[in-house]
Amino acid sequence: MTNSPTLKLISRAAGGIAPNSHVVVCVVRNESLRLPWLLRYYRKLGFDRFIFVDNGSTDGTTELLRQQSDVSLLYTDDHFGEPPGAGLIWKNTVLDRFCDGRWILLADADELLVWPGSENETVPQLTRKFDACGAEVLFTIMLDMYSDKPFGEINYRPGLPFADFAPYFDRGPYYLLPAGPFPFRQIDGGVRARLYRQYGVPSAPPVMSKVPLVKWRAGQRFIIAQHALLNPAPLAPMQGALLHFKMFDDLPLKCDVEVERGEYYAGGREYRALAMFIRNSPSRSFFDPRISIRYQNTNQLQALGLITPFGVPLVPIPPISATPPDSGAPE
């Protein structure tokens, strides 16, 4: 790739990427635990091509991805957090090079997209509705999923459904807040906000919203991870969700590794906080029977007001004066 010499093309998806392809784009490092289910889930949802940037994996991730006929694989061992944010530059470069004019999902290996009725609707069916009304971006809440078992006893195994092992999320509270860049809104709250308050962490917890599904236009740019876009575009008249499965048994070790590497936001501040929460939790679990609720389906999320169906405009952004004092940091 002439416009990004740090990325080496290892393998290309059979048949290339058609103009009507729906493409998942993902930067990974040592994600062999989650990739089998991630691929199975998104294939069933109707995504027909995947582009992975492997950032120096040593756990078999590279070999696993090279075996997939619908995957284009790029590799770099450069630093993810190299200023001004190499990971984001890799993503935007790949999107411009391979995905112009296509619907893309920019997701992490631990994130699963859902929307009202997604159990019975494919992503091509969803994006046809978006195309018909001129929408180009889906706004989503992000729900941290976790187990009621202690870390070390969750026992997730590759290829099994994530939600069978981390089925709980915080029912609330969640706050819709104004934000500077497009989509000019963000959501804060959830289990990590709860733990930040419980343990008196002075910094802001992560933002719990993203704009992951986009009709990509060359020159568009993701900024602040997947929380915002540089150029405003028409928002879909609905709200989806990313179910976020970071909290398996590998999280304590990952916290130690990422704090030492210092590649993520603020030198791995979020991983440092998570490690402290795990150490200090009497049960070594984030489960709280007063707040935790077991995931059932998208009808449940809609009933809780966390997602909205197609045709329902997004809730208006509240005035800045309604903003809580601890609005979130990038996830």
Q: What is the pLDDT of residue 293?
A: 98
How far does CA 188 lie from the centroid of its chain? Answer: 15
**Minimal CA–CA distance to 300: which of 175, 117, 138, 113?**
117
Place 261 in a pLDDT band, splitting at 50, 70 and 90: confident
Average pLDDT over residues 78-83: 63
Lowest mean pLDDT across 56-60, 199-203, 285-289, 306-310? 199-203
Triad 151, 153, 154: Cα angle to 5° = 80
Q: What is the pLDDT of residue 95?
A: 97
Average pLDDT over residues 261-287: 83
Between CA 252 and CA 55 the distance in angstroms is: 20
Q: What is the pLDDT of residue 266?
A: 58
Between CA 36 and CA 192 the distance in angstroms is: 27
pLDDT in tens, 116-139: 999 999 999 999 999 999 999 999
Which residues make Cβ contacts (< 8 Å) with residue 68, sequence separation at least 6? 39, 50
Place 17 in a pLDDT band, splitting at 50, 70 and 90: very high
Residue 9 has pLDDT above 90, yes or no: yes
Residue 177 has pLDDT above 50, yes or no: yes
Is 186 strand, coil or helix? strand
Q: What is the pLDDT of residue 149?
A: 97
Residue 315 has pLDDT above 80, yes or no: yes
Residue 92 has pLDDT above 80, yes or no: yes
Triad 322, 323, 328: Cα angle to 5° = 160
Which residues make Cβ contacts (< 8 Å) with residue 255, sequence separation at least 6? 271, 272, 274, 275, 278
Q: What is the pLDDT of residue 87?
A: 83
Residue 69 has pLDDT above 90, yes or no: yes
Between CA 267 and CA 272 the distance in angstroms is: 9
320 or 323: which carries more pLDDT confidence? 320
- Cα separation values, 71 from 1, 43, 56, 74, 202, Å: 17, 11, 17, 10, 42
State phi, psi for 81 to the nearest 5 degrees.
-95, 10
Place 168 in a pLDDT band, splitting at 50, 70 and 90: very high
**For the chain, domain boundaries:** 1-109, 110-211+218-326
pLDDT in tens, 23-35: 999 999 999 999 9
Place 203 in a pLDDT band, splitting at 50, 70 and 90: confident
Average pLDDT over residues 96-116: 98
- Counting every residue, how long is the chain? 331
Place 2 in a pLDDT band, splitting at 50, 70 and 90: very low
H/E segment holding residue 63: helix 61-66
Place 204 in a pLDDT band, splitting at 50, 70 and 90: confident
Average pLDDT over residues 299-324: 86
pLDDT > 90: what percent of the chain? 81
Q: What is the pLDDT of residue 1?
A: 42
Lowest mean pLDDT across 18-32, 198-212, 312-326? 312-326
pLDDT > 70: what percent of the chain? 91
Which residues make Cβ contacts (< 8 Å) with residue 199, sequence separation at least 6? 273, 276, 277, 280
Place 211 in a pLDDT band, splitting at 50, 70 and 90: very high
Average pLDDT over residues 71-87: 77
The one-letter amino acid at 296: Q
Residue 247 has pLDDT above 90, yes or no: yes
